[in-house]
Amino acid sequence: MKKIFLIFAVLCISLIAFSCNKNELKPLHSAFKKDFLVGAAVEPEQLLGAEGELLSRHFNSITAENVMKQLSLQPKEGKFNFNEADKLVAFAEKHKLKVRGHCLVWHHPSQMADWMFEDENGNPAGRELMLKRLRNHIKTVVERYKGKVYAWDVVNEAIDTSTADQLRHTEFYKLIGPDYIEKAFEYAHEADPDVKLFINEYDTFDPEKNKAYFKLIKSLIDKGIPISGIGLQMHVKMTNPSAAMIEQAINNLSVFGLDLHITELDMSFYDSEFGSFDQPSEQQLVYQAYRYKQIMDIFKKHNDSIKSVTFWGFHDGHTWLTSYPVIRNDWPLIFTADFKPKWVYYALTNPAKLPEYQDLPKKKAAEYEAHKGTPKIDGKIDKIWEKADSAETSIFITPYRGAMAVVRTLWDENRLYILAEVKDRLLSSKASEPYMQDSFEFFIDENNAKAGGYQSDDFQFRINYKNSVTAGGGNAQPEMIESRTVKTAGGYLIEAAFAFQSIKGAPGTEIGYELQINDDAEGDGIRKSVAKWNDQTNESYRNTEGWGILVMKE
């Protein structure tokens, strides 16, 4: 009996010590009490026990990760199920937390019921039926949580920069028209005139995406649509986007005078869409902490606009990034899987406790020496190309290793010349998106600034095997290049010339340079393989930091 009592006493002391240590931690939200709300996205099962205690102590706002989306709330027409969403709202009321509603309209098939888009005969629903259903869903949900949810993400991820109008052509878009966005805001405002209504979008730090987002928001404001705020999701990685890109996105969107909310903040350890490792190093964890602090300091700097920062989760044991884009370990959040504070926590609450900063090891940029020469752009390998050295697109950033190229480059005072011999077993341009087609891309940074986001002298050009040219980033225009393509026995050949925009070619000049091959390997309209020369990420189209270097030689 005495032994049992002794064990019980030790357990009690241990639990008390654990509780004391846990409660000694400064609440995360208190570090930003003068700046903005600090929230976390959660599922109802995370509201219990130690997990719920961690959540309620460190955050003063919560967002439903999934249970307020359409499929969760209305799996069958007219049959609403609020059980799980109600649990979140009740938890928030008990612990005096704010609630952000997420989200009223989203296109993703995983969160949309098929009945929404079909009539009684299984045919595509007409505009009037769609509007009726949209209004009923929004009205029912918003009215239920009137006075309990202070802000809603009304429309989520409506932008697609690859379309002519830069809107995502979802089923809502196709069956209602682009004004489905306006209608959604109007319906939400009717249901609760006092609730704050947000539009929400990912990759808003991408310059092209930011421009398209700006254009949409301005059109809503100009039409008198009741929009209260702008959501910036902010799923970032360890080395990109740059801090400058993030701050520029905030500056661009703050001009409207609307509230800005950082709605889905996390930080993946992977810059590549593929690859994995078992555990992060101490150096990586410390680096992550400093990068989080850098980003949160930017948010604090702009606290006149930014009123809320929500992390997409709060501990590494529950994060969408362990299943997307592939199944792998990841550590993107504030606390460990067993609820202990990471260096990130101390970076945000007591940075004096941080170890000394160490940058991550960086791969030295590959250098290509380009010789002087002026070939004719005719799709033929003229003798002058013999003086050019070769570079290979041998770095695959996809699991499938498909097409690759041997590339030679020359220069003269006015132009850069490129010859790419592409090995590709099956040629396809089936995809409507140019980047999904069999194509060759080259990237040029005329001052080799490696500034992160594109500047005015940074250019991206894409040429498919049929010689269809598209351009992106900075001020790139298809007219800046001349090109010819020829099908070959093993693939295709591309010869191109780029007219320098801000420099003249000269011995010793260095420019940023990158090469890429896209491969629709199965001919089904889906890019299966991407091969690069130097950049080991899939970010070349918006981030210049990973590009190689071209050095001009006589």
Catalytic residue list:
157, 264
Specify whether the CB–CB gap between 372 and 508 falls below 8 A.
no
| Placement of tokens 């003086």 in the chain | 387
| Placement of tokens 């307020």 in the chain | 68
Q: How many CB atoms lie within 10 A of CB 366?
A: 16
- Sign (positive or negative) of CA dihedral 460, 463, 464, 469: positive
**500: which 2 tokens?**
């320098």
**541: which 2 tokens?**
């189209």
- Sign (positive or negative) of CA dihedral 455, 214, 203, 304: positive
Q: Which amino acid is at 117?
A: F
Give the integer Cα–Cα distance in Å for 352 and 346.
Answer: 8
User: What Cα–Cα distance (Å) separates residue 277 from each residue in 269, 330, 386?
Assistant: 10, 9, 43
Task: Tell me which residue of 475, 470, 379 sits closest to 418, measured CA to CA.
Answer: 379
Task: Give me the torsion for CA of 148, 309, 234, 341, rounded to 10°.
Answer: -110
Q: Which residues pair with 516 in a beta bridge?
A: 441, 532
- Sign (positive or negative) of CA dihedral 125, 128, 130, 132: negative
Q: Which amino acid is at 217?
A: I
Specify whether the CB–CB gap between 100 and 59 falls below 8 A.
no
Give the integer Cα–Cα distance in Å for 166 and 161.
Answer: 4
Cα 337-97-27 angle, rounded to 5 deg: 50
Give the integer Cα–Cα distance in Å for 322 and 316.
Answer: 9
- Sign (positive or negative) of CA dihedral 150, 155, 161, 165: negative
| Whether residue 399 has a cis bond before it, omega within 30° of 0 | no
DSSP per residue over 46-115, as a string? GGSHHHHHHHHHH-SEEEESSTTSHHHH-SBTTB---HHHHHHHHHHHHTT-EEEEEEEEE--GGG--GG
Stretch (H or E) spanning 264: strand 259-268
Q: How far is CA 243 from the centre of its chain?
A: 14
Q: How many CB atoms lie within 10 A of CB 25?
A: 17
Q: Which amino acid is at 458?
A: D
